[in-house]
Structure 1
């Protein structure tokens, strides 16, 4: 299975003996595999083989499968619905005797809906089996076209997700190289903060203040978040280039990307670093929107 989207559409026409039909399959996003069938009356027997084919072919998506059938107008024999004809003649006699209408003609009576019916031929078991085989073969063709469309869409999705991962990787490197993370910058900032506190409250223990400042600096370090972001990028690239349905795994990774971006913003003590964290959140949101389409 290649990298695929869950969205797609396929339509296939077919025919057998005196019947014509067309299949339509629509596929949209879904947490699992959900199949809804709309089959003509009398063809419910096709539901089990159709579901089996879909389950063997697809892993995720919400599918609506419809079959529209038409029987040749020349098939079957014409017959008169005697009860309907008698009712029409009786009504015509009443209207004619009152002088309200002229006597009806035969062609007018036969044109009334329900008077003439088509006697549909009953298929024997062999004919029904042949028709079912033709219908399922046509359905397989439609399902194949749907898969091709989902795969084609998946290729475009993969290219977009690759770009999002490139952006995340670039932003992670920018955060790592931010000057505010250098030991000298951290030391200067801590010294200034301690000095401000001592000026404001000279009675404070300067040694204790330095200890607290060092502790806060340790908690604000984003090295762990940067390492995890890099690891998630590597993991996501492996999924994009792997086989099988990977949509759920990618959804989990986007949650992890978002968690690290949030932590980076909360730990930031620099305007530029905060800006990078916000850019990360924006890119992750864009990635999550696309991942929701992946099978």
Structure 2
């Protein structure tokens, strides 16, 4: 199974004391970079939650956000933040001296100030257990999301490999014809050189000819890389780095093919191969 580093999952569960929700999202990254955001009630669980997430992921920039919305009922106790209230009153007194014409703050306004008055609802004892259960459920959905994206990436890569295979298969039968045409040109140069007594230039031309005309090795290595990429995609797992390395190898062979080019056909094949390789490389950056 090929896994994308892009994924999303959101799970919500109703508990006796409120609503617990966990959201997971990720994008591509060279390593595993996990950001965990939890409410105060669940901070003690962060270590275990990190271990759970890390056991399911190898790479990616992952954000795990946990929300606990307590249900406020008649039994909820109101708590006054006296320290914050005193700070507000002191600030109001200073402001009054600076701008005496401005009306004073009313008690109702002070009590509505964020953090001055809050309803304290005790989290149920089962919240910790429920949180880990919901996280496991979210990780399952998250893995399914990444798998769906991975299937799309796999199909894209196999399509590009098929395109490159066609290019190589089209060029391979042309090698004898290209060699014959190049040899014919070499003979003409050879005869011309003999008539002008340029033996050294003839030898140099022969060496260059031998090097440039032999592209069979590059085509063989390209075919071997195609087979290896197909095998890796079928096997699945954390294969992103391995595929990225193979893209470098493919690009090297395509460049060599271009530098050895002795015809318009091989030049065009080299360019078309590099276009497809670049398209694959962009997609592989998102594979775990």
Q: TM-score, normalised by structure 1?
A: 0.82
Distance 1:51 1:164 in 2: 37
Match in the other structure for 1:232: 225
Match in the other structure for 1:291: 284
**Cα-to-partner distance string for 1:231-261 (whole Å, 9 max, x where unaligned):** 0001000001103211111111111111100
| Superposition map of 1:248-287 within 5 A | 248-287=241-280
Q: Is the 8 A contact 2:254 2:273 kept in 1?
A: yes
Would you say how many aligned residue pairs link Structure 1 and Structure 2?
277
**Cα-to-partner distance string for 1:70-115 (whole Å, 9 max, x where unaligned):** 2222252135667849x69x98xx9xxx9x98xx9xxx74564269
Distance 2:284 2:19 in 1: 39
Distance 1:81 1:37 in 2: 28
Q: Is the 8 A contact 1:14 1:135 kept in 2?
A: no
Match in the other structure for 2:2: 3
Distance 1:132 1:267 in 2: 65
* Distance change (3 Å), C-alpha of 1:216 and 1:47: same
SS at match of 2:40: coil
Q: Is the 8 A contact 2:178 2:263 kept in 1?
A: no
Which structure would you say has the larger Rg? 1
Q: Aligned Cα RMSD in Å?
A: 3.1
| Superposition map of 1:41-190 within 5 A | 41-74=40-73, 76-78=76-78, 84=85, 109-110=107-108, 112-113=110-111, 117-118=117-118, 120-121=120-121, 127-128=124-125, 130-178=126-174, 182-190=178-186
**Cα-to-partner distance string for 1:168-215 (whole Å, 9 max, x where unaligned):** 11111122122575442232021133345556xx2412xx44433222
Distance 1:260 1:62 in 2: 33
Q: TM-score, normalised by structure 2?
A: 0.84
Listed as ranges, the gaps of 5+ residues in structure 2 are: none
